[in-house]
Amino acid sequence: MLIDFILLFLFAGVPYYLVFENIPVMRKDKIFPLAALLVIAGMFISYQFPQETSMPFVMVAFFASLFSLHKANQTNNLCKLTYYILFFNAPLLIMFKTKESILYGVSLIVALMGVYLMGKYYARSYGSPNYQSVSGITLVTPYAGLILTVYFTALALYPPFPNALLFLNGILKSEISILWYLIVIVIFFGNFLIAVRVMAKTVFGKPNDNVHYIDISPTERVVHLLIIAVLLLLSVIGLQEVLS
Amino acid sequence: MSILEKLNAIKDTVPHYWPIGAFIHHNPLKGFEHLNFKEALIKAQQTFGGKVYMDPDYYIGLFKEGKISSEMLEKNLLRVLKEAKLERYLEQAKTFMLEVSPLWNSYRSYEDLKINEIDETLHSYLEENAIYKDEEAWIASLTKNMTLYEIHDALFGTSKKELIEKDVIEFVARFLDQQQTTLSMTDRDLGMFETFKLYENIDYIIDVEEFVQEALDTLKVQDVQTYFLTHILKLHGWAGYIKYRSESKEYYAQQEHPSTLMDYIAIRLHFEVKYLRKKKINDFEKLQAYIKSNTPYAILKLLQAKGKLTGTYNDAMEEHQDYQEIVDAYAKDEINLNSLQVQLAQKAVQLDDMMPVAFSNFANLLKKEEGFMWLKSLEDSYIATHVDAFTSPHTYDKKPLSSTIFCLDVRSEVIRRKVEESGPYTTYGAGGFLGIPILFVEFDKAHALSLAPAVIKPENIVFEIPVESHETYNSQKSVTKTTKKVLSDLKNNPYTPYVMVEAIGWLFGFKLFGKTFFPKKTHMIFSKSKPVKPKTTYTLDKLSEEEIEKYVKRLHTNIINEVLTTQFGTGLNSSDIILLWEHLVFDKPLKIRISSDIIDNLKQAYHITSEDYEIQKVNLAKVGFTIEEQVMYIENLLKMIGLIDAFPKFVIISGHGSCSDNNPFESALDCGACGGSISLPNARALSMIANKAEIREKLIYRGISIPEDTRFIPALHITTTDEMTFYDTEILNTKELELFLGMQEDFKNASLASREERAKVLPNAKNEKDLFIKTMDWSEPRPEWGLAGNMGVFAGPRDSCRHMALHNRLFLHSYDATIDNENADILTRIFNGPLVVGQWINLEHYFSTVDNKVYGAGSKVYHNVVSKIGVYNGNYSDLKIGLPTQSVIEEGKAYHEPVRLLTYMEAPLETVAKAVENSVAKEFILNEWIRPVIIDKAAKKVYSYEFGEFIVIKELV
């Protein structure tokens, strides 16, 4: 029971960001690293103390997830979006079996880490991680456009990106119930809709004449290349897991 | 002022859009030609948005390539600086133009704002002049050119614009459809507005103007004229096409399904009222009240909708912070950024002795003027180079075997040069359509093509008639036509494609596969199955009164016979049919017994009446030319190009056309002066006329003596492959044919050389053979560069420019000022036809290049043909006007160099002045929409017309 409580908190099953968002010292761009760290801690604990998932906790996480979906749809800020997406996926982390949960969690954090770094790049180049006015980046900043496309395609659960494969792996190996159906459907489409909404406003569309576009620097490209390489590695693992 | 008058006052802001099947190049800013070019561009930018000059980067690139000379740039800079009494800063201004201006926007950086101190005086100065102080004016500037539904969308995050524009386009496209669909909208003959009423269940009696007034009242529109313009600009492609139709009474589709711009406005306003009806803010009064009570929020939402709000403020908006504080912070930051921009620019220019406020004005002046300065410097640089070349002495052999008169086009420059290099041949360029406007009815076609510039209405009909047996051709053609019709019906019907794809879809796979991977072989296979057209001739002479009557009588009696036998099963002998016809047409007493039903049917359904008899006679009277007209057209052509004596053995009159596959813009590559059609019929008609002995006799009295043994041969220049095909060569005797065949061989070599030269600049063409593939490849978006690159026109003797390799960039019109009269009639004709068309082509290319989104058609990749009148993006969008990106841009960079038409005229200044005065082109010449340059060899001076006066730019030795 105690472990369930701890995991519910660590796996982002409780939207504690509501508190952090109102603490100036935390600032929005520090919430994701903290949340990711807590999820990793949760993975470690669940690995050390494997146990059956308690359905009431999953349900709590699911309601929190729906709230995060709503929040994700309200924001155009990439940094905020990262922890909203993480919290949105929390029920899966709690519901999946330990190994599947860890794998899906890792791929989710890696993809979100990429988005988070893109948010930092936005903040540097355009004053804030908010992408509302920075549309059509594929045409004017092709590297940034390509990288953001990769991350959001992964988050939209398109195969062969690892999120999709590990999501499939998780649902194939978990026990089926009505709640299972509900969560899987909502989170599958939710991820897709959030990602597509962001892509429509960033990588697609017409470039904004009022914005002076700056593409990502060569150093940043290397960092993102590494993240994409990790995603590729996770894809291979995901494929092996699905086929096993 | 009535609402119709208000609409008429603004409608010319949008240009005509001709149907794509007869693509007419046009100036998208035609409605602004009453203004000086520079002034008009400022106004157009305020109206349409978008760019009117290229970016500084582009011009700097040309400067570095040496295309813009430093001397010209300095000259133009100095003029601007002198007016502002800043000439001592010439060097700094040049540095600003070349180094600072491209980085101008990057100086507005939030990062730099953190590390730079803002000059207080400059900040106060900019704050004083900023719009942010007056919130009312700020809102007015933000809502300029916005409809109520757009403002609603911006303020409340709705998507009414998408719904309204989609509904408007859907209705308009269906109403204007020209048989693209098999399920046409019904009742279109009632007119656009009346059909719309049926479509939208508007069941009360109201005319269009009352309806529009009602909608304007509902929306509580205050400035109706401006609101009409705002609406028209939303989909200015569709508006331009409807405007063209409504002003072209002879346009068949308009006669069948009438539409007006007022109808279009009524439709737009109807949907606006409909979609806003249930909204809280559904008229301008409510909107104003809302904005008044929520001013900061409204400003922020409008800024957000226009993409002017940066991330920090968007974050603050999301967090619902105090809106007034956000607005204040935004205004403050904007002024800080503007100050920073000026300060950093000043630092870069190293103009330390100038106060920041003065530098701000200096920089603003240069930014305001730079587009025009760069453009003029580019033009001036070309003019200087060209003038030097035009005025350098050259002499050529005066005894050619042939002279080829090319229908004027930039694309004939290379082939002309190559023909001249290949042997004893000279060439001429003659105003498009070769000066003979005709309504041409091609053999086996039912409709007449207008082969003349869009501004000229031809009065003479020419029929193409076969001179040899054509039964096989007819039967093959009939099979092809039926097959095409069946396939088209199956394809466009909403139900049949499902079955069709399953049943016969695979058959198309062969063509699809072949055309994609083996275009040449596939083309050969399919062209073999095409019926071969029989040899034909033209009806060039007028019909006599008796012949006209005979033909009308024959037409009517044939109809009567057909109707009686097929519909009523009553066969009459020919004499009875004539009696019946006389009764119907001349009201003669009927001596035979015929039911009144038949008589009524013939009168009402088949128009066998005295009125129709007269109409048919008038129409037939238009067939052919009188002898005087024939003499006049030949005389005009020959005098226009200065060919009045020393005729060679062969005079080739060459029309031109293009060849490509799967290309809705194909007619844009044909002859612009022939209404976007091939100009071969004009060439054939003129050649036939010129070969007549009686015409030549009459020409002698007009100072043109054509030797008896000179032969006029028509030809067609295919601009895609530079091949030249000759027609009507059967008039040549054996000896002449021998000479002609030798000449033809030289022309073939010239074509080859021309292709080799052109292949070097055409993307994905490794050698000249690839140019043929481009005509057959259905995935080829750029079969040729067409008129891209056009930059000028030269009217003068060929000898002045024969030595110049102009790479298909100039229209070369032959003109000999010494044979022009005092009234400059010949030059006036050149101004009225070729120059007008040249200016349209030039400015169409100019604006499609500087801003393809606003004035061009965008990428061909997304185009779908709509209603057989044009193309749009995807499944609905504005009708795409202008040229596609593939016509002017290569891999993101402009291939076409946008400059105004550099118009060189080798003639005395007085002759040119007279021609300008008499010409329809006077307005755009004097308003500097072209760059007139006069090479007056007699006065030994070269003049350029700029800033309202002729200035001497070169003294000739």
Answer for the pair B449, B677: CB distance below 8 angstroms, yes or no: yes
Q: In angstroms, rounded to a whole number, what is the distance separating the alpha carbons of residues A75 and A10?
A: 23
- Judging contacts by C-beta atoms under 8 Å, the chain A residues touching residue B110 are 126-127
Question: What b-and-e string marks burial along B547-579, b requiring 16 or more CB atoms within 10 Å of the CB?
Answer: ebeeebbeebbebbbebbeeeeeeebeeebbeb
Q: What is the band of B510 on the pLDDT scale with cuts at 50, 70, 90?
A: confident
pLDDT given for residue B1 in this prediction: 84
pLDDT in tens, A214-233: 899 999 999 999 999 999 99
Instruction: Output the pLDDT for position B319.
Output: 85
The model's pTM is 0.87
A210 vs B307: CB contact, 8 Å cut-off? yes
- Show residues of chain A in contact with B853, CB under 8 Å: 206
pLDDT of residue B660: 86
Mean pLDDT of A10-30: 81
Segment B737-755 mean pLDDT? 96
B105 touches chain A (CB under 8 A): yes
Q: What is the pLDDT, as a whole number, of residue A130?
A: 93
Bridge partners of residue B796, in order along the sequence: B814
Tell me the average pLDDT across B655-678. Answer: 85
Res. A2: pLDDT tops 80: no
Residues B716-742 have a mean pLDDT of: 95
Nearest to A68, CA basis, from A92, A40, A43, A45: A92
Minimum Cα–Cα distance from B110: chain A residue: A127
- State residue A21's pLDDT score: 85
Query: Residue B942 forms beta bridges with which residues?
Result: B935, B954
Phi, psi of B651 (to 5 degrees): -115, 115
Q: Kindly provide the residue ranges of all beta strands, DSSP E only, lying in B282-433, ordered along the sequence.
A: 402-407, 425-430
The answer to whether B778 and B662 have CB atoms below 8 angstroms apart is yes
Question: Smallest Cβ distance to A128: which of B304, B315, B853?
Answer: B315
How is residue B861 annotated by DSSP? G
Long-range Cβ contact pairs of B706-711 (< 8 A, separation 24 or more): B706/B647, B707/B647, B709/B649, B709/B736, B710/B647, B710/B648, B710/B649, B710/B650, B710/B651, B711/B649, B711/B650, B711/B651, B711/B736
Contact B435, B674 (CB under 8 A): no
Q: What is the pLDDT of residue B91?
A: 94
Three-state secondary-structure class, residue A146: helix
Give domain limits for chain B.
159-278, 402-463+625-955, 481-534, 545-621
Residue A68 CA neighbour count, 13 Å, CB half: 28
**B891 touching A (Cβ < 8 Å):** no
pLDDT in tens, B197-254: 999 999 888 899 999 999 999 999 999 999 999 999 999 999 999 999 999 888 889 9
- Packing angle between helix B295-305 and helix B135-142, nearest 10 degrees? 30
Between strands B438-441 and B425-430, the pairing is: unpaired
**Is cis: bond before B19, omega within 30 of 0?**
no
Total residues found in chain A within this entry: 244
CA dihedral (B483, B489, B490, B493) in degrees, to 10, reads 180
Q: Show the CA angle centred on residue A38, arms to residues A33 and A41, nearest 5°.
A: 125
Residue with tokens 């030039």: B842
Q: Is the pLDDT of residue A4 over 80?
A: no
Whether B846 and B50 have beta carbons less than 8 Å apart is answered as no
CA distance B75 to B80: 9
Which long-range CB contacts under 8 A does B910-914 form with residues at least 24 apart? B911/B817, B911/B820, B911/B824, B911/B827, B912/B824, B912/B827, B914/B822, B914/B823, B914/B824, B914/B827, B914/B828
> Percentage of chain B surpassing pLDDT 70?
100
Burial class, B36, CB count within 10 angstroms (exposed 0-12 / middle 13-18 / buried 19+): middle
pLDDT band at B664 (very low <50, low <70, confident <90, very high): confident
Q: Report residue B842 as tokens.
A: 């030039």
What pLDDT does residue B514 have? Answer: 85
Say which of A74, A77, A128 has its CB closest to residue B310.
A128
- When pLDDT is averaged across residues B862-890 and rounded to a whole number, the result is 92
Mean per-residue pLDDT of chain B: 92
* Å between A213 CA and nearest CA of chain B: 9
pLDDT tens per residue across span B511-525: 888 888 888 888 888
The answer, yes or no, to whether residue B416 has pLDDT greater than 90, is yes
DSSP state of B677: B
Please give the average per-residue pLDDT across B627-637, as a whole number: 95
Q: Which of A127, A206, A209 sits opposite B311 (nearest CB)?
A: A127
Q: Is the pLDDT of residue A186 over 90?
A: yes
CA nearest A80: which of A128, A40, A148? A128
- Sort out which chain A residues have CB atoms less than 8 A from B306's CB and list them: 210
Distance CA B748, CA B725 (A): 10
> The complex's ipTM?
0.85
Q: State the helix-helix crossing angle for B680-690 and B693-700, rounded to 10 degrees.
A: 70
Q: What is the pLDDT of residue B228?
A: 97
Phi, psi of B461, deg, nearest 5: -100, 135
Q: How far is A128 from chain B (nearest CA, A)?
A: 5
pLDDT per position as a tens digit, A143-165: 999 999 999 999 999 988 999 99
Of B594 and B943, which is predicted with more confidence? B943
Tokens 């015409």 locate to B695
Instruction: Read off the pLDDT of residues B669-680 as tens digits, 9 standing for 90 and up.
Output: 888 778 888 999
**Residue B307 to residue A209, Cβ atoms within 8 A:** yes
Band (B922; pLDDT cuts 50, 70, 90): very high
| Residue B11 DSSP class | G
B932 DSSP β-pair partners: B903
pLDDT at B723 over 80: yes
Q: What is the pLDDT of residue B881?
A: 87
Q: How far apart are CA B625 and CA B619, in angstroms?
A: 13
User: 69-98 in A: which are within 8 Å (CB) of B?
Assistant: 74-77
CB contact under 8 A, A128 and B311: yes
pLDDT of B320 higher than 90: no
Give Dmax over CA atoms of chain B in angstroms: 107
pLDDT for A12? 77
| Residue among A75, A206, A212 whose CB faces B318 most closely | A75
Contact B422, B747 (CB under 8 A): yes
Q: What is the pLDDT of residue B363?
A: 96
Q: Any residues with CB less than 8 A from the CB of A67 and at least 6 apart, and which?
A: A15
Q: In the block, which residue shows the tokens 């509904």?
A: B167
How much of chain B exceeds pLDDT 90, in percent? Answer: 70
Q: How far is B846 from B888, CA to CA, in rounded Å?
A: 9
**Predicted confidence band of residue B415 (pLDDT cuts 50, 70, 90):** very high
- Res. A26: pLDDT tops 80: no
Site of tokens 């005025």? B391
Question: What sections of B143-279 are H helices per DSSP?
Answer: 148-156, 160-175, 192-199, 208-219, 224-234, 236-246, 252-256, 261-276
Per-residue tokens: B686: 């003129």
* Backbone dihedral angles phi then psi of residue B425, each to the nearest 5 degrees: -130, 145
Domain spans, chain A: 2-243
Mean pLDDT of B114-118: 89
Q: Are B171 and B373 in contact (CB under 8 A)?
A: no
Q: Is B779 exposed, middle or buried (0-12, 13-18, 19+ CB in 10 A)?
A: exposed
Rounded to an integer, what distance in angstroms lies between the CA atom of residue A136 and that of residue A90?
Answer: 31
Q: What are the distances in angstroms from CA B433 to CA B409, B410, B630, B654, B885?
A: 10, 14, 15, 10, 27
